[in-house]
Chain A
């Protein structure tokens, strides 16, 4: 079991829009601190900079200002200690499900003696029978599951999830949410989940960060003081959901006022 803290200090990101000779500010002075082993969810409307924030933490994007510390060390690039599950599954179409997982293991230099783990992961994802199928032969949900276990295979200290269940029906989604909780509790890694599903954020995380758009900022932070396993219809749950929705709405009204 390993995990690491994540600390973002004053992250600002400005994108160049070369086609229009303009710039677009996606993040404005975003700071956050996440304890080792903590499960944090980030919610916010579409386009508010959630993916950008996650990509900076992963080391894929260089912040314009500010920095990210992971386990106290400054993030300067990607590292297999920080795994990322992308918004699209991004499986390699020329590799089978097993091939995709093995690719990850080889890239992270963890391939030796991994056969049993791979089998276990395939079992967790319910993909044993599809280990030798190519991504185009799978359903959307199966692809998403495969992408999830591919990231899990290399046992990252920090797992960054960018709407990993976004494309799924609510039934599959709930199943996978339970899978994610049990994986997290089993492995104890730090989790940062992006979602625009408020229920999902409350159901999974210990703390919900709310982002507002243009430029992206963290406007509120709400702890989820409910013990696992959580009941989606319990009164605490519902109350928290209302509060988050209210704050998200505020964020929207703020913006509208700003625009007017």
Chain B
């Protein structure tokens, strides 16, 4: 985001300052509440730590033995919360941001507190189905090399499929949007294949594919192909004719019309498809890994299920969650950059 603004006689030096000036004044009570809010995440984390270290465990058997990994984890979170709080005292801007995110952070900390209480401390939620946070973290730490390897394999498979499917979808959608003959032959295909979830093909693909990797790439790609095809076709068909006419009066050739007019015009639509496609790809990835592929996070979960290692399964789910969140954040950034020109920024 552009933070500095051009010189102006109002003496406004940043967009943030401008927002401050235009914001509605807040009541005194509201201000006090906001101030208190910023300290809450750290306070909640202290509670988590105290309960973990001081409250007695449900049983003293070896199963209920705990490690320091959770202590370290919560301490690190606490350190971050305190640093954030300190920064919020120094900078008005950080303060504003913290008041907005503090309730969520606090809620998450309280969730940890409550879950710890229900599992490790009281046994209300029993083992082996409900391992407490320390157990999950320890499992994650113990298997870290393998988990990282799984992340790598999952990402390779995910992106092989996603990029293949997106490329195929773009080509199908754009050529069908630009060419009537292609549309004629492609639209029945889209209508028939489109509504079938790509995972329906799993059993067939597992039998027919010469390699499991290749088959899985195909499955993921198929799931991405449909939304990307639909949105890019739609995007091209909705372009105002004037966009092409302007370029034609300037002497633009066919390639320029396609790559410099049609595709940029359809970009907002296309990105909708690329985002939808990513959810499809993630779903198909998990199915592929749980059904056949012998690596990756989905496979890891299934494998640990065989050993009834619930802590390891949960740890893998957390890793999956982090991985997918990261992938989607990257995609959002790419979208932001590409659609920077849109009024009010990319949505």
Contact = CB atoms under 8 A, between A and B. Distances in A.
B210 to A, nearest CB: 43
A156 B341 CA distance: 29
Contacts of B267: 94
Contact of B247 (A59, A77, A96, A107): A107
A223 interface: no
A104 B250 contact: yes
A83 B249 contact: yes
A83 B343 CA distance: 28
B250 A80 contact: yes
Contact of B250 (A108, A134, A136): A108
A136 B251 contact: no
A92 interface: yes
B250 A107 contact: yes
Contact of A78 (B251, B261, B265, B343): B251
A154 B248 CA distance: 13
Contacts of A211: none
B97 interface: no
A104 B246 CA distance: 9
Interface string A89-106: 010111110000001101
Contacts of A58: 249
Interface string A127-162: 000000010100000000000000000100000000
A90 B242 contact: yes
Contact of A107 (B242, B256, B343): B256
A17 interface: no
Nearest to B241: A60
User: Chain A interface secondary structure, helix, strand, loop or mixed?
Assistant: loop
A94 B264 contact: yes
A78 B341 contact: no
A3 B36 CA distance: 74
Interface of A: 58-60, 77-80, 82-84, 86, 88, 90, 92-96, 103-104, 106-109, 134, 136, 154
Given A94-B341, A95-B341, A88 B260 contact: no
B256 A106 contact: yes
Given A92-B243, A134-B341, 14 more contacts: A78-B248, A86-B242, A92-B261, A93-B341, A94-B265, A94-B267, A103-B250, A103-B260, A107-B247, A107-B250, A107-B251, A107-B252, A108-B251, A109-B251
A77 B251 CA distance: 10
Interface string B306-347: 000000000000000000000000000000000001110000
Contacts of A154: 250-251
B143 interface: no
Nearest to A87: B242
Contacts of A104: 250
B142 interface: no
B149 interface: no
B245 interface: yes
Given A90-B242, A92-B261, A103-B260, A79 B342 contact: no
Nearest to B252: A107
Contacts of B256: 106-107
26 contacts: A59-B248, A60-B248, A60-B249, A78-B245, A78-B249, A78-B251, A80-B251, A82-B249, A83-B249, A83-B250, A84-B249, A90-B242, A90-B245, A90-B246, A92-B243, A92-B246, A92-B264, A92-B265, A93-B341, A95-B341, A103-B260, A104-B250, A106-B256, A107-B251, A107-B256, A108-B250
A192 to B, nearest CB: 13
B238 to A, nearest CB: 14
A172 B261 CA distance: 30
Contacts of A88: 242
A134 B341 CA distance: 6
Contacts of B251: 78-80, 107-109, 154
B252 A90 contact: no
Nearest to B244: A60
